[in-house]
Amino acid sequence: DDADGLASLLGRRQRLAAWFSAEGRRLEETPETLAVVDDLLDGWAMDPEIGPRLVNEVGLFLGCVMVRVVAGARWRIWPNGHPVVRLHGGQEYDVVVLVEQRLHDNGPGLMEVLGDATRRGRS
């Protein structure tokens, strides 16, 4: 139940920060940066070096932004070791799967996911 320690561990995104830096930008856990990451996703997915690692890296980043900006959001680890974001009301977001859906199945954009979590976090 060490929420701060878990957030710190899941917040290590050196690869994503390096990819973002190569675009001339600084990675910050903000909605504005999340929007830029979402815009870059499709291009990164085509890169043979970045593509295979993209879903996990961006999923954890999405989760970190959610935990930072959505009231009552916390990281939770399922018994199988998979990280999800849980809201105060019990709603869980499998952030890695959401990024995979965004890339491969025309799922919601990252800002849509954040907006949904923000609305649910207020209730």
pLDDT in tens, 75-90: 998 999 889 999 998 9
The 3-state secondary structure of 61-110 reads: HHHHHHHHHCCCCEEEECCCCCEEEECCCCCEECHHHHHHHHHHCCCCCH
Average pLDDT over residues 2-13: 65
Q: Which residue has the higher pLDDT, 6 or 86?
A: 86
At residue 122, the pLDDT reads: 84
Token pair, residue 110, equals 């990252």
- Tell me the pLDDT of the chain averaged across its residues: 90
Place of tokens 């997915």: 45
- State pTM to two decimals: 0.91
